[in-house]
Structure 1
Amino acid sequence: MDLTERNRLSDNIVHKLRKAILLGEFALDEHLREPALAERFGTSRTPVRDALMVLIREGFVAKLSSGRVVVQGISSEDITNLYEVRFILESHALAAWAKQIERLPLQPLKNCFERMNLNFVRSGEFSELDMEYHEQLIRLAGNKSLLQSWLGIGETIHSILEITNQGYPRGEQIVQDHSKIIEFLDRNKIDEAVATLKQHLYEGQMTMVETVEKLKKLKTHSTNP
């Protein structure tokens, strides 16, 4: 297996395992055995081992002193912390954009928004465009370090969006919020854009917290009939 194929397989396993952990498919402290995971994903153990290393760095799993890798899961507090970091990064980007003497154009952000038409965008594509929209907000700052920080949590955000956006439970509201942010930026109303962003992220946070709590209750009922 060449390095490109190994990385592709590893990335795919990371994405699937992260989402499975978010959905509560693994119990807290459950041992993730490499042979079982390799069989599950139809690969050798090497890309599985690479994937687990990524999830260890992200905090979804932990490696014990015994060498066993176990599920850490994600708590409501973890989600709250993640969304607080998102708001810090994205609101800073908007403030930095407002201070630019020659501001970066809003057109890439507008182009992304225009593609978020609920009449033809499938759920998976909607999550991709949701991610792209917020990345474009970050790019407005023209700050590489800020972008790197956002991309560092980007895959976790993406996995969460795939869950919270499934079936468009907040689709119309998301589109409305995105539209308002652009409108406020166009009119140089930065405080209003930041306030809209704050409420927008808070609602996404609450949706994911509710999902996690619901999954915990289902898990409890299934193990304690």
Structure 2
Amino acid sequence: MRDVGVHLERVPKATLRAHIVERLRSAILAGDIPPGAPLVETALSERFDVSRGPLREALRQLIEEGLVVTVPYTGTRVAELSVEDVHEIYSLRTVLETFAFEQVWLRRDDRFRAELKRRNEALIATIDAGEDRASILAELEFHGLVYEASGHKLLQRAWHGLRGRLQLYWAAHHRAHGRRGPKRDSHDSYIRAAFGPDIEAMKAEIADHMRRGMETTDRFLRSIPTSSGKPRRGDNS
């Protein structure tokens, strides 16, 4: 008799890798897999019920994103966010975002303003829903608009390279505040300045916006030990 059953195709390798990446990324950002935790291939392949091929590809992607690191003679681990990392992210983001607004300032139009407002509303929706992972992605999209609008390819590349570390930064920042996502009104003054006539006011807002987040995250990181149990680098106490 001829087999008339439904033929089930195998899940494409790329789709499987993307699925593993998403689950690992979510677990890292939620703190379920803590900073510094080892990522052992045998344990992970059993946990996700997958072969090591797509798992290794997923880990390589997370290494490129900055969420995972490979330490010589030690193995693959979840990246840890040091005090120095926070200060470097703060200083670099301040410069990059200021430069991005300088590029678009005279070209802001109704579409730019409407899109910035839409992205902020999308961010607020994730905050109201208590979806921390979604709020991190939505905040990346919110801040990413000015880079997209700049049309500056090297600037966009630099922003893309920061995204992984920013996800760790914001996850730590949210835990520092003890909440699921940023405050609902955390970007109100940012939007007012972005819509306003004074670029110097925008630059001042960017610096202040970054500083507030950096100081809170700095205090949070100094209060917890590294995976080795030692104080974090940069802690002078």
Query: How does the TM-score come out when normalised to structure 2?
Result: 0.72
Instruction: Please tell me whether the aligned partners of residues 18 and 60 of structure 1 are also in contact (alpha carbons under 8 angstroms).
Output: no
Aligned to 1:190: 199
3-state secondary structure, aligned to 1:171: coil
Aligned to 2:69: 61
Aligned to 1:87: 94
CA shift in 2, pair 1:116/1:46, >3 Å: same
Give 1:135 deviation, angstroms. Answer: 0.9
Question: Going by fraction, where is helix more abundant, 1 or 2?
Answer: 1
Residues of 2 paired with 1:6 and 1:152: CA distance? Answer: 24
Aligned to 1:42: 49
3-state secondary structure, aligned to 1:50: helix
Query: Partner letter of residue 101 of structure 2?
Result: L
Give 1:95 deviation, angstroms. Answer: 0.9
Say yes or no: does 1:149 pair with 2:158.
yes
Aligned to 2:130: 122
Aligned to 1:135: 144
Instruction: Please tell me whether the aligned partners of residues 71 and 77 of structure 2 are also in contact (alpha carbons under 8 angstroms).
Output: yes
CA shift in 2, pair 1:14/1:145, >3 Å: farther
Aligned to 1:6: 16
- Compare 158-167 and 86-95 and name the one that shifted more: 158-167
Structure 2: gaps spanning 5 or more residues = 1-10, 231-237
User: CA RMSD of the aligned region, Å?
Assistant: 3.4
**Aligned residue pairs, count:** 214
Give 1:171 deviation, angstroms. Answer: 0.4
Give 1:120 deviation, angstroms. Answer: 3.5
Query: Partner letter of residue 5 of structure 1?
Result: T
Query: Partner letter of residue 161 of structure 1?
Result: W
Residues of 2 paired with 1:162 and 1:31: CA distance? Answer: 19
3-state secondary structure, aligned to 2:70: strand
Higher Cα Rg: structure 1 or 2? 2
Query: How does the TM-score come out when normalised to structure 1?
Result: 0.75
Residues of 1 paired with 2:77 and 2:129: CA distance? Answer: 37
Residues of 2 paired with 1:101 and 1:121: CA distance? Answer: 31
Residues of 2 paired with 1:206 and 1:24: CA distance? Answer: 25
**Alignment map for 1:9-20 (pairs within 5 Å):** 9-16=19-26, 18-19=28-29
CA shift in 2, pair 1:187/1:132, >3 Å: same
3-state secondary structure, aligned to 1:122: coil
CA shift in 2, pair 1:26/1:131, >3 Å: closer
